[in-house]
Amino acid sequence: MIIKNPMSITLLFTLVVGVCSSVYANEDKRQFVAMPKMMQQHQLANMRDHLMAINEILFNMGKDDLDKAANIAENRLGMSSLSTHGASHMGKVMPKEMSAIGTNMHKAASRFALVAEEGDALPAYKALQEVTATCVACHAGYKTQGAAPKENKSHDMALKEKKSHTITPEKDKVDQRINLGFTTSEKVEFLAEMRQMLSSLQAIIIGIGSENAEKIMKAARYSGNRMARETPQSIKDKTPLSFKKLGGPTHMMFEEIAIRADDDAESLLELTGTLMKNCVACHAMFKVSD
């Protein structure tokens, strides 16, 4: 494998922002954070915008436009974005540790912006990793959807208290994404598959950077046709054609990456970037909880 542009590898590596440690776990053991419905939707909308912002940052870094990357980081992720995200309200309903992770993310994004403005890509990349590390930590430790733990008898009382902190929106915002209507067990399986796909992407990028074709092949095939075959039929039956038109090609792109594991880094990175566009499109169109 010939690496034509090592910097493009390190830049794309940070795209994998949502990797969680559990892969095929039968039980989601992340801490459940109770939020009123409107705040939950606001939080998830924030997360989707964070993902899109990271994509835009990487795109501009790839074009050597670090000033634009810095501007996106500061205004969409950094300390300047706090009022837009409703941070003062959201922090009140989060566990102290979760709130601290969020604050660290905003601070890291502002630090990245300062480094990027200096015009040197390598230090900027290293600074961006500090941002994505907080994303990984938060997604690995917390969730805002699904059933509350049975042992948490104070959940209902806590939720009532938290309603006093709800955000007053500029307009009544409604999450218009398509609800896939999964049962609780189907959600657990489905979300575990999503985390596995992100874990595969992380391992693929590491494999490209280390010129390890075997690692690339193994990681890609975890999320290729094997995953598609093992998805429970009940989940397949509930996904609409529009979802299948994204999901099917995505699994096939993982297989193509496995087949082309010995190719040059540039072509592998291009294919991986195309695959990630499908991930973003899917998150923008569908949801698994009300």
Residues 176-190: pLDDT tens digits? 889 999 999 999 999
What per-residue confidence (pLDDT) applies to 253? 92
What per-residue confidence (pLDDT) applies to 43? 84
What per-residue confidence (pLDDT) applies to 129? 80
Q: What are the φ and ψ backbone dihedral angles of 262, each rounded to 5 degrees?
A: -90, 0
- The count of C-alpha atoms lying within 13 angstroms of the C-alpha of 149, restricted to the half-sphere facing its C-beta, is 12
CB atoms closer than 10 angstroms to residue 211: 14
> How far apart are the C-alpha atoms of 147 and 144, rounded to whole Å?
9
Using pLDDT thresholds of 50, 70 and 90, give the confidence band for residue 27.
Answer: low
User: What are the residues facing 143 on neighbouring strands?
Assistant: 32
Using pLDDT thresholds of 50, 70 and 90, give the confidence band for residue 172.
Answer: low
Is residue 157 pLDDT above 50, yes or no?
Answer: no
Q: Transcribe 132-173 into DSSP letters.
A: HHHHHHHHHHEESSSPPPTT-TTHHHHHHHHGGG----SS--
pLDDT tens-digit profile of 44-78? Answer: 888 888 888 887 887 788 778 899 999 999 999 99
What per-residue confidence (pLDDT) applies to 146? 64
Question: pTM, whole model, 2 decimals?
Answer: 0.56
Average pLDDT over residues 215-234: 92
Residue 91 or 226, more confident: 226
In the chain, the domains with their CATH numbers are: 1-22+30-159 (1.20.120), 176-290 (1.20.120)
What per-residue confidence (pLDDT) applies to 147? 57
Q: Is the dihedral of CA 58, 60, 62, 65 positive or negative?
A: negative
Residue 30 or 250, more confident: 250
pLDDT tens-digit profile of 232-279? Answer: 999 999 999 999 999 999 999 999 999 988 887 778 877 888 888 888
pLDDT tens-digit profile of 96-151? Answer: 899 899 889 999 999 999 999 998 877 887 888 888 888 888 888 888 876 555 54
What per-residue confidence (pLDDT) applies to 18? 42
Residue 161 or 244, more confident: 244
What per-residue confidence (pLDDT) applies to 2? 44
Please, are residues 118 and 47 in contact by the beta-carbon 8 Å criterion?
A: no
Is residue 165 pLDDT above 50, yes or no?
Answer: no
Residue 100 or 20, more confident: 100
- Which one-letter amino acid corresponds to residue 168? T
Residue 27 or 184, more confident: 184
What per-residue confidence (pLDDT) applies to 275? 87
CA 18 to chain centre: 3
For all residues of the chain together, what is the average pLDDT?
Answer: 79
**What Cα–Cα distance (Å) separates residue 282 from each residue in 71, 105, 274?**
26, 24, 13
What percent of the chain lies above the pLDDT cut of 90? Answer: 29
Q: Any idea what DSSP says for residue 183?
A: -
What per-residue confidence (pLDDT) applies to 255? 92
